[in-house]
C-alpha cells in the first residue's frame, strides 16, 4: 500500500477550492434569510407590506405602509441583490477553479457524491444528522493528509450515509416546505434516483450508483425508533450492529474535490475510529471474504496515513473510548504484527 504526496501546486489549488467553497456556503446560508419576496398589497384602502416565503404565496403581513416599513422593504431588496451578486461572482470563480482542479488531477470523488454532499450541507443535515461512512470516507482522510491513496482502496459503487438519530431531525427547506425526506434531496442531485423496492434502505440511479441509509441498532430490541427521515416513500434506514461506535466518535470535516473539479464538504468519523471499526469488520466470520480483505487493507491504510501525516492524532485507548476495551486490546495486538512506521503508541 502506497501513499502519494500532493505536489505544491496541487496543494495550493486544493486550498483555493476549499476556501471558495466555504465562502460560497457562507453567502448561500446568509442569502436564505432573503429568499422569497417582499411586496405591497392593498386592502381596505391601505397598503400593507407582505413578506412571501415560497411560490405558493405563504407569508405574512409586516404592517401598513410607514417610514419604518418602507425601510424594511428597501433593506430587504438591497440585501437580496447584494447576495445575488455575491453568489453569482462566487459561482463564476468556482467554475474557473474547477478547471484548475481537473488540470491538476486532484478531483477524486465521484461527482454524484459531491453533489449530494453539497445538498445535504445546504439542507443543514450534514454533520448534524448525517455523516459519511464506508469507503467514501477515505477521500476525506487523504485530502486532510495531502496524499493520494491507491485507487484500488477507493473503488466503490455506493455511498453509505449514517443517520445519528440522537440529534433532532430538522430538515431545512430550501424553497418550499417540500421535502419527502432524503429521497427528495437525492433527486435534486440526480432525478433518476429510485428506491430499490418498497421501504428499502437503498436508492439507485440509472447509472447504478447506490445510496444506503444506515443507523445503529436500538439499544433495546423492544424499542422502536424512526427509520425514515420523510414519509412512506422515503428510504428506511437499515439498523446495523455496532454502528453506535461510529456515531459516538468525534466528527471529522474536510473539503474534498469531485471528479468534475467542484468542491464539497464531507463529514466522516474520526479516522482512528474508522480504522478500528474496519479492523473489527475484517474479523467478522459472517462478513463476505472479499469485503473482509478490503476492510483489513483500508484499516491499515488509514492507520499508516494517520501516523505519517496526521501527528496530532494518536492511537491511545483514551482516544478510542467509544469502543469496548477488549476490542481495543485486540486491535492493538493485531496492529502490532503489521509493518507500520514508528509512533504507534498502544
Please count the CA atoms within 13 angstroms of the CA of 166 that sit on its side-chain side.
12
CA distance 203 to 197: 9
CA distance 327 to 345: 16
Question: Which of 37-70 are b and which e, b meaning 16 or more Cβ less than 10 Å from the residue's Cβ?
Answer: bbeeeeeeeeebbbbbbeeeeeeeeeeeeeeebe
Position 95 scores a pLDDT of 96
Which of 138-147, 155-164, 224-233, 308-317 has the lowest average pLDDT? Answer: 224-233
Element (H, E) at 133: strand 130-133
Confidence of residue 338 (pLDDT cuts 50, 70, 90): low
Q: Is the pLDDT of residue 242 over 50?
A: yes
pTM comes to 0.89
Query: Three cell numbers at 99?
Result: 478547471
Q: Please give the average per-residue pLDDT across 40-55, as a whole number.
A: 84
Residue whose cell numbers read 478547471? 99
Residues 6 or more apart whose Cβ sits within 8 Å of residue 35: 53, 174, 175
**286 exposure class (CB count in 10 Å sphere: 0-12, 13-18, 19+):** exposed
Q: Are 183 and 193 in contact (CB under 8 A)?
A: yes
DSSP string, 157-209: SEEEEEE-TTSPP----SSSS---SHHHHHHHH-TT-EESSTT-SEEE-TT--
How confident is the model over 177-195, as pLDDT tens digits? 456 789 999 999 999 999 9
Please count the CA atoms within 13 angstroms of the CA of 268 that sit on its side-chain side.
27
Position 219 scores a pLDDT of 79
Domain ranges for the chain, please list them: 28-102, 108-264, 270-346
Which of 76-85, 220-229, 285-294 has the lowest average pLDDT? Answer: 220-229
CA distance 234 to 182: 6
Percentage of the chain exceeding pLDDT 70: 91
Q: Cα angle at 339 between 334 and 345, to 5 degrees?
A: 65
Give the strand pairing for 3-5 and 251-257: unpaired
CA distance 331 to 322: 14
Which of 80-89, 146-155, 309-318, 330-339 has the lowest average pLDDT? Answer: 330-339
CA distance 335 to 303: 9
CB atoms within 10 A of CB 266: 26
**Strand locations in 283-343, DSSP E?**
none
Amino acid at each position: 500500500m502506497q501513499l502519494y504526496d500532493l505536489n505544491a501546486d496541487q496543494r495550493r489549488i486544493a486550498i483555493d477550492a476549499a476556501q471558495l467553497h466555504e465562502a460560497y456556503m457562507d453567502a448561500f446560508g446568509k442569502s436564505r434569510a432573503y429568499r422569497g419576496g417582499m411586496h405591497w398589497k392593498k386592502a381596505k384602502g391601505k397598503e400593507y407590506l407582505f413578506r412571501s416565503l415560497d411560490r405558493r404565496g405563504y407569508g405574512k403581513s409586516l404592517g401598513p405602509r410607514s417610514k419604518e416599513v418602507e425601510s424594511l422593504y428597501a433593506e430587504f431588496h438591497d440585501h437580496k441583490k447584494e447576495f445575488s451578486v455575491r453568489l453569482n461572482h462566487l459561482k463564476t470563480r468556482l467554475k474557473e477553479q474547477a478547471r484548475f482542479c481537473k488540470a491538476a488531477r486532484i478531483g477524486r470523488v465521484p461527482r454524484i457524491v459531491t453533489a449530494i454532499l453539497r445538498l445535504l450541507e445546504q439542507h443543514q443535515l450534514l454533520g448534524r444528522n448525517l455523516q459519511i461512512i464506508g469507503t467514501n470516507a477515505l477521500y476525506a482522510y487523504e485530502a486532510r493528509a495531502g496524499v493520494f491513496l491507491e485507487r484500488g482502496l477507493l473503488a466503490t459503487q455506493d455511498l453509505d450515509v449514517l443517520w445519528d438519530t440522537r440529534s433532532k431531525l430538522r430538515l431545512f427547506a430550501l424553497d418550499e416546505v417540500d421535502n419527502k425526506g432524503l429521497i427528495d434531496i437525492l433527486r435534486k442531485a440526480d432525478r433518476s434516483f429510485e428506491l430499490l423496492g418498497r421501504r428499502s434502505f437503498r436508492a439507485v440511479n440509472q447509472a447504478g450508483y447506490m445510496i444506503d441509509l444506515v443507523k445503529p441498532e436500538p439499544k433495546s430490541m423492544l424499542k422502536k425508533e424512526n427509520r425514515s427521515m420523510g414519509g412512506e416513500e422515503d428510504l428506511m434506514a437499515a439498523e446495523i450492529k455496532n454502528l453506535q461506535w461510529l456515531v459516538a466518535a468525534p466528527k471529522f470535516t474536510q473539503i474534498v474535490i469531485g471528479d468534475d473539479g467542484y468542491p464539497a464538504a464531507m463529514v466522516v468519523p474520526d479516522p482512528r475510529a474508522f480504522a478500528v471499526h474496519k479492523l473489527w469488520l475484517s474479523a467478522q466470520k459472517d462478513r463476505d471474504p472479499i469485503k473482509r480483505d478490503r476492510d483489513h487493507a483500508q484499516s491499515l491504510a488509514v492507520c499508516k496515513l494517520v501516523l505519517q501525516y496526521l501527528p496530532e492524532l494518536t492511537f491511545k485507548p483514551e482516544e478510542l473510548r467509544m469502543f469496548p476495551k477488549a476490542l481495543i486490546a485486540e486491535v492493538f495486538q493485531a496492529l502490532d504484527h503489521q509493518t507500520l512506521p514508528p509512533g504507534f503508541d498502544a
